[in-house]
Structure 1
């Protein structure tokens, strides 16, 4: 299941330096609205519906967690910043920038302010041809036809010629140079959410810890002394099995593997939860397993302070987590940091996300990507 929406936007400009304005628009959309994943070539097309200078047009695919109306509000602000003033009473007119929501997943939206899919999509080659270049598995939810079919049937005979190209912002972050990236962090740090976003934005195979299927977890939070050892053993067995299977199975359609945990977390948690004699036995078993496990090419630790962790845990509302104490979380953070310090051959990046919200704030998500990019460089 996708954690983000796939939004197709159509961009057009026929005033000023048209290509430069489109480039500025793409940058603002990426910084403020959502992650720009793909951009079509730039087409030069005649003005549609009125006499004016020709347009430069392109289409782009954007990932966002926002609603359609929220996206509309954001793009109207960007249009205004780039010199566009909308006036429905005047009708079609020359403009520095025009941003239209063409598709939002395969949803149908009909309100006074917004119609999705765009009602004139099938009549405009300057929208259809760039849309086709995005190579999406998309079907018009009303007409039940894909983009090539709509192009074949359109009555628009206007000329659309490719005149340029705009680079997608993510092309500068070569995560696919890695085979395996692990995101780690304390309980409530946001590692699973970030793993989802990275996997969707960078076409990666996603490996998520199956904690929800562990029958000992709710019991452990009620009686730690009794259930700590079976809990840690069951986690170790499941993590070993999952990582062994998923990292061994190459996916031709994905560029790399991204996981929301690394198996060494088993030893970190076990050291906190187990009695001394149980931990010695556990560590011996873990050492045998750990030698056989592939190590991540990049290990990203998301640090959050304890107060923020407690807020996140409360917010996500898992009943068995609500009694987790601050000192328990602090011990886990210490365990992770001690582990990181001891690893000389592990490619580690620590990012403090205590003051970030990379779900609601696109700029916070881009900050994390920039930190990863710096590490790569």
Structure 2
């Protein structure tokens, strides 16, 4: 599991549509930095240190996996993306967005590029008032006082006015869903994605136990002979695993993500079984399916056949190396028919054919944001 850091940020704007500037910054922080846990009210304040338009100021609490220096770089990129123009002039100036790191865990950081806690935060009511709203009992690591007490010591006499305008907090996928199933063809990357999401969002993983199935290597050698025992053993194992794992949520992990769903059994059985075998199999499946918890979101990762074969070759499972392109196409067609006809599931298709989300953080973030905004 990645280490989750808690950071408090100050956001300010005094140009253009100020409410929109703040909301856009919040959305980009949520997409690229980490989940936003709290947002203060919006406070209107006079420009500080220069003559200019009034500012809208807020503070936010963010849970992030980023280390401080990387966090700062990410925030600067967000400012640039929102059109902030930097000037070589000294002193304070108008700006459409300004994002500052106030606190990072309880750390004290003095480097060439970053000082945390922010060196001037205790002198600014436009920072301290919104910060107290969301972090009153947090201890300032240098002065060793609660933020609420630090505000009482602040001698800034600026006029600060709370507004009635509201900002929307983006909802992370770990709050939006209790149970999410990620499916895909052989080699689509579903297990890798499940592990990455579990690590980032502290989710409980349910991974298919295919490696323990004694019929799988035999099936790839003689499909006709071993198809039925293979599919029946998979069905029984998937049913028991999902029944056991979904029956109780982990005390500290109320978000479950799995790399398969029970319907996978039916899709593969349609491809591998003879007609009479499939009819018998379907009776067993229907009995079990009634008892299985349905996912809040079902995701199908589409990967083209060429990439599937490349991925299968790379991971090097000996018994998979004889899988033929036509077999993968049959499996995909089974999923495609399922997607077209299944109306009871909240179902999302994500094309990952041109992505490398395992090695490219940008691709991974794109997938997470597609899920989040679905």
TM-score range, shorter chain: 0.5 to 0.7
- What SS is found at the alignment partner of 1:170? coil
- What SS is found at the alignment partner of 1:360? helix
Aligned to 1:56: 56
Q: How far does residue 60 in structure 1 lie from its aligned partner after superposition?
A: 3.1
Is it true that 1:360 corresponds to 2:356 in the alignment? no
- What SS is found at the alignment partner of 2:292? coil
Aligned residues: 361
- What SS is found at the alignment partner of 1:41? coil
Q: 1:25 to 1:179 in 2, by over 3 A?
A: closer
Supply the distance in 1 between the matched residues of 2:9 and 2:372 (Cα, whole angstroms). 23
Aligned to 2:83: 82
Q: How far does residue 336 in structure 1 lie from its aligned partner after superposition?
A: 1.8
Aligned to 1:113: 113
Aligned to 1:375: none
Aligned to 1:97: 97
Q: How far does residue 293 in structure 1 lie from its aligned partner after superposition?
A: 1.9
Supply the distance in 2 between the matched residues of 1:190 and 1:138 (Cα, whole angstroms). 41
Q: 1:97 to 1:241 in 2, by over 3 A?
A: same
Measured against aligned partners, the alpha-carbon deviations of 1:166-204 in whole angstroms (never above 9, x if no partner) come to 43363699x85x775533223444545666788899x9x
- What SS is found at the alignment partner of 2:181? strand
**What is the 5 A alignment of 1:42-191?**
42-45=42-45, 50=49, 52=51, 55-61=55-61, 68-80=68-80, 81-85=82-86, 87=88, 90-103=90-103, 111-116=111-116, 118-120=118-120, 125-131=125-131, 133=133, 149-153=146-150, 155-158=153-156, 160-168=160-168, 170=170, 176=176, 181-191=180-190
Supply the distance in 1 between the matched residues of 2:118 and 2:184 (Cα, whole angstroms). 42
Supply the distance in 2 between the matched residues of 1:270 and 1:138 (Cα, whole angstroms). 56
Q: 1:293 to 1:286 in 2, by over 3 A?
A: same
Q: How far does residue 10 in structure 1 lie from its aligned partner after superposition?
A: 1.9
Q: 1:348 to 1:106 in 2, by over 3 A?
A: same
* Cα contact 1:84–1:97 (8 A) shared by 2: no
* Cα contact 2:103–2:117 (8 A) shared by 1: yes
Aligned to 1:291: 290
Supply the distance in 1 between the matched residues of 2:211 and 2:370 (Cα, whole angstroms). 37
Q: 1:135 to 1:308 in 2, by over 3 A?
A: farther
Q: How far does residue 2 in structure 1 lie from its aligned partner after superposition?
A: 4.7
Supply the distance in 1 between the matched residues of 2:240 and 2:98 (Cα, whole angstroms). 51
Unaligned runs of 5+ in 1: 373-377
Supply the distance in 2 between the matched residues of 1:111 and 1:310 (Cα, whole angstroms). 48
Give the greater-gyration-radius structure (CA): 2
TM-score (norm 2): 0.68
- What SS is found at the alignment partner of 1:333? helix
Supply the distance in 1 between the matched residues of 2:230 and 2:51 (Cα, whole angstroms). 70
Supply the distance in 2 between the matched residues of 1:149 and 1:314 (Cα, whole angstroms). 57
TM-score (norm 1): 0.67
Unaligned runs of 5+ in 2: none
- What SS is found at the alignment partner of 1:340? helix
Aligned to 2:331: 332
Supply the distance in 2 between the matched residues of 1:321 and 1:128 (Cα, whole angstroms). 62
Aligned to 1:303: 302
Measured against aligned partners, the alpha-carbon deviations of 1:301-342 in whole angstroms (never above 9, x if no partner) come to 222212334555677x57679847462543432332233345
Please report the RMSD computed on the Cα atoms of aligned residues, expressed in angstroms: 5.1
- What SS is found at the alignment partner of 1:330? helix
Q: How far does residue 11 in structure 1 lie from its aligned partner after superposition?
A: 0.9
- Which of 205, 210, 213 aligns to 1:208? It is 205
Aligned to 1:9: 9
* Cα contact 2:220–2:320 (8 A) shared by 1: no
- What SS is found at the alignment partner of 2:354? coil
* Cα contact 2:136–2:148 (8 A) shared by 1: no
* Cα contact 1:35–1:64 (8 A) shared by 2: yes
Q: 1:219 to 1:242 in 2, by over 3 A?
A: closer
